[in-house]
Amino acid sequence: MVVASPPQTKPLTDEELRKMHAYWRACNYLAVGMIYLRSNPLLKEPLESKHVKYRLLGHWGASPALSFTYIHCNRLIKKYDLDMIFVAGPGHGAPGVLGPVYLEGTYSEIYPDKTLDEDGMQRFFKQFSFPGHIGSHVTPETPGSIHEGGELGYSISHAYGAVLDNPDLIVTCVAGDGEAETGPLATSWHSNKFINPARDGAVLPILNLNGYKIANPSILSRISHEELEALFVGYGYTPYFVEGSDPAEMHQKMAAVMEECVLKIKEIQRDARVNGNVYRPRWPMIVLRSPKGWTGPKDVDGHKVEGFWRAHQVPMGGMHSNSEHLRLLGEWMRGYGPEELFDEHGTLVPELRELVPVGPRRMSANPNANGGMLRKALKMPDFREYAIAVPKPGSVEFENTKALGILMREIMRHNPNNFRLMGPDETASNRLNPVYEVSKKAWMADFLPEDLDGGELSRDGRVMEMLSEHTLQGWLEGYLLTGRHGLFHSYEAFAHVVSSMFNQHAKWLDICKNHVPWRRSVSSLNILLSSLVWRQDHNGFSHQDPGYVDLVTNKSPDVVRVYFPPDANCLLSVADHCFRSVDYINVIVSDKQNHLQYLDMEQAVIHCTKGLGIWDWASNDDCGTEPDAPDVVMACCGDIVTKESLAATAILREEFPHLKVRFVNVVDLFTLISSGEHPHGLSNRDFDSLFTPDKPIIFNFHGYPWLIHKLVYRRSNQDRIHVRGYKEQGNINTPLELAINNEIDRFNLVIDVIDRVPKLGSAAAHVKEKMKNKIIECLTYAHTEGKDQDEIVNWQWPY
């Protein structure tokens, strides 16, 4: 077992120790002030209830350990001129980060009213966790943050994503011991197996082992030292332990251990970059065991606070009615000696200001934490060069996502240091494997001889595969937020694994775009959903869930987009747009199997630019010199359902030659929303022009049918809009059988038209019977032969 012992040297002189501890006291004073005070910041007059916030919102428990770690990072940044940013995992620990950020001046530079004096400090205190101002997480408003911590579990993966292809960057990442109990964080420890010390930066993970969550002990704090060591050795780290509660001893231990860790990181990188020894090292990590609510009240009202779960939130409440609590608060804050830390104007004294790094070396001003400052546009190949030839609509087949793989191969070729592909062991399955011609899968663990036979592994790979969607999306978010580009792909049914993670990133982008003007634009989070619900022939019911897009439509229209390209050329056009975009989450839904191709490239570009449109070649309502209004609108959204809608349209045109059919395909889902609710939405005038104001609409949708009803709820004559989609009717089915079970198939669509077009009426009874008979025939064939009939499988557009 390789376990590190803390160095025995004392790297801090007595004078350095005095200054470090004083600076930490200033940070803690600010943290307590943020949580409790709205005025009287330096307590020059007696503390009264009018000085205390009416809303005591904020968490004290993790704050001291965060500021403790932050100032030790600053010491090493100054000593070794490090390029470093700070990730705070404990969700409500913002006071422990905001204090140091304010003291190093960045906060005042960005928010000029938060000046480095007593008046500015008062405004700084009042804004915290107060209506109309900032929250108790390290939100986008916090300079230096790329990770809010609003949901626990993503700190480590964000940190590792930030250092990919970022060789000079070190990310110090503090993970909470409660956070360490989450599944996402547990898997993200394995990120060290994907870091190439020659081309990537480094993460210094620090487990903040303060013993408690909201109201329970943390698991890792209640296991033996040996078991905890073994856990992190098993994860592939060299763990160092900094344990105790006496500030002077802890400063010496932390200074020594952090310096050894940084020097070890530099040694590993130098060996790889100078000597060419690229291997998987045992990267250092730190276990910081300190009391929860360190330096706070030992007990309140006879109950233990410091070192117990009661320190998690606000140790004392009822300040406006409990004079004893108000007195304890005053003693607590005065105990930090603010008169020794700040001058008479409320400005940090000069000898402590000297501890702060300068300019962009301040972690709060590091451009990596405002990644749009570093972002460079991708060198994009012309996607038209990879077009699929379509001699006539619906006559040739191609694997749609393979076309995307070819495009990404060229993107990776032209952008060798700022584009990564993330996916859970499904790159080849989702037909994106053309990228391997340019870059293999990143792999720093052991190699076996048989890996040479199709393993596609490489120490220098930029395709990231791991069976943890959380870690993959976390890597990509960290990569994007520090100025780079990429794509995350997943099987459609299992994208739900990261639904709440998607929520957090969407909220981050929304705040940045609308409330934090100093944040520069970052590349969009591009998500490809493939292996779709309608082609799960052998996987069955467990793999049938198209509901991820329902979640996406709940988010702010400022930051989300959803695309359903019907064929490969449309997918190429959509992907090109998404890779060039900024500040969005783009969700692209496209299947990996062979599908009919409908539009040549120029048609596809026009169609995708509009977001939806009439396919004239599939319609017959515009065939005369004075065209009539259509009798019915056949609409569709999604690659598989488009084929079934087209097949239904062909049957209708054959069986009812005088029936006027308009065929509308939707690529951009949000065009269906009213223009007042989404920037891509159609006006009511345009919607009625396209879909008619009063004719029946038979809408065949890839996902759950009620989503379409939600999107079009403002449109006129709702009763005319009839939506088919997935209805949780599936098992081990052939493609057509699954379609029939959910009534999105061609035969049921024809029946829908017969039932809803008045002019057909009873005259269409024979055709309706024919459709019912065909459904029975197809189901019987599928259950007898285990496949669909050749006429179904080989169907092409006949006109």
233-251 pLDDT, tens per residue? 999 999 999 999 999 999 9
pLDDT class of 1 with cuts at 50, 70, 90: very low
10, pLDDT greater than 80? no
540, pLDDT greater than 50? yes
Following DSSP, what letter does each residue of 655-680 receive, concatenated? H-TT--EEEEEESBGGGGSBTTT-TT
CA dist 47 and 55 (Å) reads 17
CA dist 619 and 799 (Å) reads 10
Do the beta carbons of residue 464 and residue 355 sit within 8 Å? Answer: no
Do the beta carbons of residue 578 and residue 524 sit within 8 Å? Answer: yes
pLDDT in tens, 154-164: 999 999 999 99
613 forms beta bridges with: 665
CA dist 332 and 326 (Å) reads 10
pLDDT class of 542 with cuts at 50, 70, 90: confident
Amino acid at 696: P
pLDDT at 624: 59
Beta-sheet strands, E only, within 381-471: 396-399, 419-423, 441-442, 457-458, 463-465
pLDDT class of 2 with cuts at 50, 70, 90: very low
Beta-sheet strands, E only, within 100-148: none
Give the 3-state secondary structure of residue 552: helix
pLDDT class of 135 with cuts at 50, 70, 90: confident
pLDDT at 134: 87
Amino acid at 54: Y
311, pLDDT greater than 80? no
Least confident of 4-18, 61-75, 114-128: 4-18
pLDDT in tens, 79-127: 999 999 999 998 788 999 999 999 999 999 999 999 999 999 999 999 9
pLDDT at 248: 95
With CA atoms as reference, report the closest residue to 134 among 27, 214, 58, 30. Answer: 58
Higher pLDDT, 156 or 537: 156
pLDDT in tens, 350-379: 999 999 999 999 999 999 999 999 999 999
Which residue's entry shows tokens 């470090």? 20
Higher pLDDT, 212 or 280: 280
Do the beta carbons of residue 588 and residue 527 sit within 8 Å? Answer: yes
Q: Would the pTM count as exceeding 0.85? A: yes
**What is the separation of C-alpha 122 from the centre of its chain, rounded to a whole number of angstroms?**
35
Beta-sheet strands, E only, within 225-350: 238-243, 284-289, 299-300, 303-304
Task: Work out the percent of the chain whose per-residue pLDDT is above 70.
Answer: 97
pLDDT class of 300 with cuts at 50, 70, 90: confident
CA dist 373 and 366 (Å) reads 10
Following DSSP, what letter does each residue of 193-205 receive, concatenated? GG--TTTS-EEEE
457 forms beta bridges with: 441
DSSP letter, residue 261: H
Average pLDDT, the chain: 94
pLDDT at 139: 94
Beta-sheet strands, E only, within 347-492: 396-399, 419-423, 441-442, 457-458, 463-465, 485-491
